[in-house]
Amino acid sequence: MISVTGREMPLGQWLLGRLRLDGVLLVLIGILLLVGLAVLFSASGESMIALERQTMRIGLGVAAMVMVAQIPVRTLRSLAPWLFVAGIALLLAVMVAGEIGKGARRWLDLGFMRFQPSEIMKLAVPMMVAWYLSTRNDRPRFRDLLVTVPLILVPVFLIMRQPDLGTAMLVGAAGFLVIFLAGLSWRWFVGLGLAAAAAIPALWLQMHDYQRQRVLTLFNPESDPLGAGYHIIQSKIAIGSGGLYGKGWLNGTQSHLDFLPERSTDFIFAVYAEEFGFIGVALLLLLYFAIVARGLWISALAQDRFARLLGGSLALTFAVYMAVNIAMVTGLLPVVGVPLPLVSYGGTSLVTLMVAFGILMSIASQKRLVNR
C-alpha cells in the first residue's frame, strides 16, 4: 500500500486524499451550489427560511457524498443487485400504499420521513445494469439486451405509472447510457431508436391527461395562456426580458412579482436567466459542462468495467438532467417536472445527486490508489 507520510504535499490535498474526495469536482460542485443558493434567495422572494432549509439540505447532501465516497467501488458493485431488488420492492409498495400528493402517488411514508423510492432507482438502475454488464467479458450482445432492457424498463414503467414522467425518463436515460457506454453496436441503437419512435403512440395512450396537456401546450403555449400555457409563456418572458446582461440579482420582475410559477423549483433557471442574462446563462452552461467533463474524465481513468460504466452513466445522466430542465424552461421540451440539478429548491433530488457524486469520488480515489 502507499504511504502518504514522508511526501511533501499541501494540507488541503492531503485532506482531500484522506477523505477520498476529488478536488476539482468538489470545487465545481461547490460553485454551482453557491450560485444555486443565490438564485434561490432571489426566487423565494429573499426568504431566509428557504435559504436556511436549502443550506441544511446541502449539508445533508455533502455529508451523504462524503460518506458514499468512503465506500470502495467493489462494495458498491456487490451491493448493486440488492439495492435494485429493494428499489423494485419499494416501488411496488408505493403503488399499493403510497402517499398521494398533487395527484400523483410517489411518496412512501416511513413514519419518521417521507421519501420517493423512484429516487433510489436513479442510482440502482445504472448500478444494476453496470453490474450485469461487468459480469460479461465483451461488448453487449443481443442476449445481453434481453436482460438489461427489462431491467431498465420495469422500473421505468412503474415510475411512469405513479405518474412521474421526469424521473422515469432520467432512470431510463441512466440505464440506457450504461448500455451505450458499454459499447453496444450502433445497429442496436438505431433499432432501439426506431422502437422508441414506434412506441410513441402507445406511450401517448399510457399518459395521463395532464401529461398530454403538457405535450400539446409545448407546441402551442399561447393556446392556453391562463392554463397550461401560462408557465411556459411567463418563463419565456422572464428569460427573454433578461437580455444579454440580465436585470441584476434580486431585480427580476417576473419572479419577484409572482408572474413566474414554480420559480424556486422547476423554473428556477428562468429566474437565473432573467437576472443574469445571456452571459450568465452561458457561464452556467459552461460550469455544468465542466462538471460533466470532470465526471467523465474520472470514469475514463477508472480501473474496472463496473466503475467505468457507472461513473460515465452518472455523469451523463447529470447532463441529461440539466439539458432537459433548461430545454423545458425555454420551451424546447414539454414541461415534464425535472428540476435544475443542484440549483432547484428541494431535498430529494439534491441528496440523490450528491450521492451520485460520492460514487464518482469513490471511483476517483480507487483510481488513485491503484495508480500509486
Partner 1 sequence: MARRDDYGQEQQDQQRFVVRILLALVLLAAVLLLIGWRLSGLQVGAHSHFTTLSENNRLRVEPIAPSRGVIRDRNGQLLAGNRASYQLEVTVEQAGDLDELLERLHDFVELSEADVERFRRGVRQRRPFQPVLLKAGLDDTTVARIAVSRHELPGVEIEARPMRFYPLGKEFSHVVGYVGRINQQDLARVDPRAYAGSSHIGKIGIERYYEDLLHGRPGYRQVEVNAQGRVIRELSVTPPEPGTDLTLTIDADLQRAAYRSLAGREGAIVALDPNNGEVLALVSAPGFDPEMFVRGISQADFSDLQSDPSRPLFNRALTGQYPPGSTIKPLVGLAALDEGITTADRRMFARGYFQIPGHERRYRDWRREGHGWVDMSRAIAVSSDVYFYDLAHTMGIDRMVPMLGAFGIGQRVGIDATGERAGILPSRDWKRATHDQVWFPGETLITAIGQGYMLSTPMQMADFTATLAGRGQRIQPRLLQSMDNGNGELERLLPQPREPVHTAPEHWDTIHESLIEAVHARHGTAWGSIGSRPPTNYRIAGKTGTSQVFGLGQDEEYDEDELPRHLWDHALFVGYAPADDPQIAVAVLVEHGGSGGRVAAPVAREVMDAFLKGDAGMTLDVSEDE
Residues that bind partner 1 (CB under 8 A): 137-139, 177, 180-183, 234, 236-244, 253-254, 256-259, 273, 277-278, 281-282, 285, 288-289, 292-293, 296, 299-300, 304-305, 308-309, 312, 316, 319, 323, 326-327, 330, 332
Residue 368: CB minimum distance to partner 1, A? 17
Nearer to partner 1, 145 or 327 (CB): 327
* Length of the chain measured in residues: 372
C-alpha span between 126 and 311 (Å, rounded):
9
Least Å from the CB of residue 319 to partner 1: 5
**Nearer residue to partner 1 within complex by CB, 122 or 367:** 367
* Closer to partner 1 by Cβ: residue 98 or 339: 339
- Longest CA span, the chain: 70
Provide, rounded to whole angstroms, the least separation between the CB of residue 113 and partner 1.
33
Q: Distance between the two ends of the chain, CA-based, in angstroms?
A: 8
Minimal distance in Å, beta carbon 313 to partner 1?
10
Q: Name residue 134's amino acid.
A: S
Q: Which three cell numbers stand for residue 162?
A: 405513479
Alpha carbons 289 and 315: distance in angstroms, whole number: 10
Burial class (CB in 10 A: 0-12, 13-18, 19+), 57: middle
Cis ω for the linkage preceding 339 (within 30 of 0): no
Give the nearest distance from C-beta 61 to partner 1 in angstroms. 24
Question: How many helices (H) and strands (E) are present in the chain, helices listed first?
Answer: 14, 3
Question: Residue 108 or residue 170: which is nearer to partner 1 going by CB?
Answer: 170
Q: By C-beta, is 194 or 300 nearer to partner 1?
A: 300
Cell of 116: 420517493
